[in-house]
Amino acid sequence: MVRRVEADRAELERERVWVFAVHVHQEHVGPPFVVAELAAPTEIHAADVLRRRYGVVFDIDWLAETPVVEEARPWHRYELIGDRELRVRYGTWEQGSPSHVRVVEDADTVEITIYDLLPPYGLELAPSTTRTATVSLRSPLGKRRIVDGGRIHPFTDEQQDQ
């Protein structure tokens, strides 16, 4: 059953069921049962899809409505590339993927917020990889402060790469 579900992931995703893990669980008493960790619009939707496809009742560990959640990532360094461009370095998890960067400029500050798409299951470990994002500004940076929108505090000069 586990191999069938793993082989059917693409078809399940078309039915809006995203399976992250599936395994057989054996308690001390009773028959073994199949456990699926997944995301779907609702737990009932996931149960209906799996029951219809496989004719088996799964123990469902419903994690979220969607396969990814968007999260603002704090960043730790920036580098000036030109008067209107910065390269920002930030830590994230291997399982994540870049979503978008939001830049809010005013006369005194440039606030940069980096968003990643992450799986909905708990990632409790420290970020495991470093990524970069290139940010274009509407006007030259000049003397404006750079603010990390993921942390909401300004960076100091020593955090700028020389």
pLDDT in tens, 81-140: 988 999 999 887 766 667 789 999 999 999 999 988 777 665 555 567 888 889 999 999
Structural contact between residues 22 and 2, judged by C-beta atoms closer than 8 angstroms: yes
Contacts of 106 (CB under 8 A, 6+ apart): none
DSSP annotation of 152: T
> pTM score, two decimals?
0.59
Which of 99, 79, 83, 92 minimizes the C-alpha distance to 160?
79
The encoded tokens of residue 52 equal: 């219809």
Which H or E run contains 22? strand 18-25
Domain boundaries, the chain: 2-64, 69-159
